[in-house]
A and B are shown apart, each in its own frame.
Chain A
Amino acid sequence: MQFLEQFTLTNKLNGVSGKLKTLFAVLTLLVCSFSTAYIVPLLVFCIMFAVTVVVAGIPLRFYAKLVLAPAGFGLVTFVLMMFFFGKEPFFSVHAGNLTLTATKDGFDMALISVGRMLGSVSCLLFLALTTPMADIFALLKKLKLPDVFIDLSMLIYRYIFIMVQEALRMEYAQKMRLGYSDVKGSFRALSLLAGNLFVRSWDNADKMLTAMNSRGYEGIIHVLEDDSPIPRMHLLGLAGFELVLVSLNLILPR
């Protein structure tokens, strides 16, 4: 089982403050999704790609696989928007006795939407591939988000892995005893697995709470957070970068 997360501890950007990386990804994501000039999202995509693959050293193949799905989806969206949205004729395609007319405003809209989508995906991938969850939680805490929200995310995060591992273990145990050998058997095994997973998760949650109680849990999770501040120069650099992106939006034609 491969998790995106595996790279967060081994990539070459590991030494950079996790908070800075999170801010970089989130701010760029925001700027990207509100961009009006199509160049900006595409620029964001290129930059994020470069930072993730070249600087952080995430394997290109792995990255490509992750981008391929949203890119395919983007292509379909692009075609649909170009042909079925907007009014101003742009060019036509003849297929037999069928004529499809692309529109100029449809094309522009497709370009900006798909661009934003790809740009945003690249921001999220950067975050997911280079930043350990613990750092993201630390930032959330710093931003004074409600404790309940952070505690819950923390537990969910840990739980995803317990559940996945549990599910894999069960699936493996079933396969070893020929659980998925035919269609009927597969359905039976799968339903057993799903039902059991629910019961076990419930039970595990109960036990985990017991264990937390026994270490003095009183409703708020206290753990050591990485408290190192983001270097001022880095913050300034980040602000400058985002400003450039925003002003590009203002200068460039829509």
Chain B
Amino acid sequence: MHALETVDVDFRYPNGAHALQGVNIKIRTSSKIAILGPNGAGKSTLLYLFNATLRPTSGTVRLNGAPMKYDSSSLRSIRQKVGVVFQNPDEQLFAPTVKQDVSFGPLNLRLSVEEVEKRVSESLDLVGMSGFENLPPHNLSTGEKKKVAIAGVLAMEPEIMVFDEPLSGLDPKGQADLTELLDQLNADGKTIIVTTHRMDFAAEWADEIWILKNGKVTKKGVPNEIFSDMSLIHGANLQVPMPIQTHNELYLRGFCNKQVPLSVLELVESVIEYSGENDYTGHYALAKEDFAPLDDCFIGFENGVLVASRDDFKNCFARCRCTGQVHKGKEIPIDLSDVPEGKVWIVRTPGAADGGAEMMPATVVRGLIDSRKPNRIGAMGTVAKSIVKNTGLNYDFGSEVVNSAVSASRRGLSTMIFATGKMADLAAKRIAYLNQRMGEEISFQMVDGEL
């Protein structure tokens, strides 16, 4: 089933600019799509067609298989189904206060005031803008405006969500949070379409990438297909993401296998696999205590020096086994080949729809943590994050959670991931996918939150 489809779509602006020329795009329902292309390629124009903000000069746009009509009742239902977040938030925010602006869309859907109130506070919470309700938009920073603009469309709960450069203007944490939000929305079955100039994001996040140039589609494909085509990438003013660039260099010099990595994690795996896992000679850490053979050593940097400690500590990033007797202040050899991989537990927590963080008391969370004793804690989704916070603990991974957990597991550290509802399935799927891509078998276990 295709959520959106354009058939031979042409679009000319009134001044004659031929922004789209015979564009044929098919977007599968519930997929994550990135549209890439140089400035002026026609990306924004294309997005405007998706919710009938613009009407093609010729050709048709199909929504769920049916050609779009442009009379007022059809427009209504189209805009209910397809939400667009514009590139520039100043274009979108018009109301005197943040709350009023976010309420505009849902009220136009003629929902009850209680429902609107609920959606407004939920969507502001999702983008991390709770507490800003009564501020006027001009008192916000650019990134904050952007988040409010996103909330304004979230609150309409459309089945297809279109974002024009959602990451631009957000700080790194904001970008990570938004990426997670996009995954969360997708896990709820929504189709997500974004345009972006952030290649690393596109490579890691998208199911499928479409490349647009001079108003035409020049290529579509899955990320590693797209990013292994150098001439295409450079021809479209794009850039190869850093892990792939590094991979190319290493590959040409004979240091890794040839599978294109989509993230830093995959790149590292590729190198390790190629170089053979046992070659760790010459790596040492400074022993902070006396070690006996087979003791666990937790290894990490402290003031720029690699140290080994018998207990887990904050900056520790790996665990290995001590091979012999080592005294405090001496060097301890690091060998990750002999460490059992850390387990990953995925705890399914209630979601906002099931009653939120109150449904999972701190004692239950404590119980889970104390019985499994994970080295690290991850949290996916706002509710899961507050569930962890409610216990007085802090999560170590709040963004890129699955990648971080898998990576930690490869370094001997176990992780317990708290994930809201469908995000838990998403996490499991992602681990399975990474296992398959990297040829690994990281064991993970779903734990029911109600335990």
Give me the interface of A with B, judged by CB distance under 8 Å.
5, 9, 132-134, 137, 154-155, 157-158, 161-162, 165, 204, 207-208, 210-218, 221-225, 227
Contact = CB atoms under 8 A, between A and B. Distances in A.
Contacts of A134: 96-97, 100, 134, 136
Contacts of A218: 72, 76, 108
A10 to B, nearest CB: 11
B9 interface: no
Contacts of B84: 214
B427 to A, nearest CB: 32
A223 B109 contact: no
B135 interface: yes
A210 B48 CA distance: 9
26 contacts: A5-B136, A9-B134, A132-B97, A134-B100, A157-B96, A158-B136, A158-B138, A161-B138, A208-B91, A208-B92, A210-B91, A211-B92, A211-B94, A212-B94, A213-B53, A214-B79, A214-B86, A215-B92, A215-B105, A215-B152, A216-B80, A216-B105, A216-B108, A222-B108, A223-B95, A225-B100
Contacts, number: 103
Nearest to A216: B108
A137 B136 CA distance: 13
Contact of B108 (A132, A154, A161, A217): A217
Interface stretch (B16-24, B33-41, B112-120, B279-287): B112-120
Pick the most buried of A133, A214, A215, A218: most chain B CB atoms within 10 A of its CB.
A214
A222 B107 contact: yes
B151 to A, nearest CB: 12
B5 interface: no
A8 B443 CA distance: 57
Pick the most buried of B84, B96, B107, B109: most chain A CB atoms within 10 A of its CB.
B96
Contacts of A221: 95, 104
Contacts of A225: 100
B165 to A, nearest CB: 15
Contacts of B117: 224
A165 B76 CA distance: 33
A223 B134 contact: no
A190 to B, nearest CB: 24
Interface in B41-58: 48, 51, 53
Contacts of B108: 215-218, 222
B93 interface: yes
B90 interface: yes
B324 to A, nearest CB: 66
Pick the most buried of B79, B113, B135: most chain A CB atoms within 10 A of its CB.
B79
Interface in B150-178: 152-153, 156
Contacts of A217: 104, 108
Contacts of B120: 224
B266 interface: no
B90 A216 contact: no
Interface in B97-154: 97, 99-101, 103-105, 107-109, 113, 116-117, 120, 134-139, 152-153
Given A158-B94, A162-B90, 13 more contacts: A134-B96, A155-B94, A162-B138, A210-B48, A210-B91, A211-B91, A213-B79, A214-B48, A215-B156, A218-B108, A224-B113, A224-B116, A224-B117
A11 to B, nearest CB: 13
If over half of A's interface residues share one DSSP class (helix, strand or loop), that class is named, otherwise mixed; here it is helix
Pick the most buried of B80, B86, B91, B92: most chain A CB atoms within 10 A of its CB.
B91
B136 A223 contact: no
Given A161-B136, A204-B90, A223 B104 contact: yes
Contact of A158 (B72, B83, B96, B109): B96
Contacts of B136: 5, 132-134, 158, 161
Contact of A210 (B53, B72, B96, B107): B53
A142 to B, nearest CB: 15
Contacts of B48: 210, 214
Given A162-B138, A216-B109, A207 B91 contact: yes
Contacts of A5: 136
B72 A208 contact: no
A14 to B, nearest CB: 9
Nearest to A227: B113
A137 B53 CA distance: 29
Nearest to B117: A224
Nearest to A134: B96
B115 to A, nearest CB: 11
Contacts of B104: 212, 215, 217, 221-223
Nearest to B51: A214
B107 A223 contact: yes
Nearest to A162: B90
Contacts of A162: 90, 138
Interface string B313-340: 0000000000000000000000000000
A9 B156 CA distance: 28
Nearest to B94: A158
A216 B101 contact: no
A59 B137 CA distance: 24
A157 B120 CA distance: 22
Given A210-B48, A215-B104, A216-B80, A9 B95 contact: no
A166 to B, nearest CB: 9
Nearest to B88: A207
A215 B161 CA distance: 12
B132 to A, nearest CB: 11
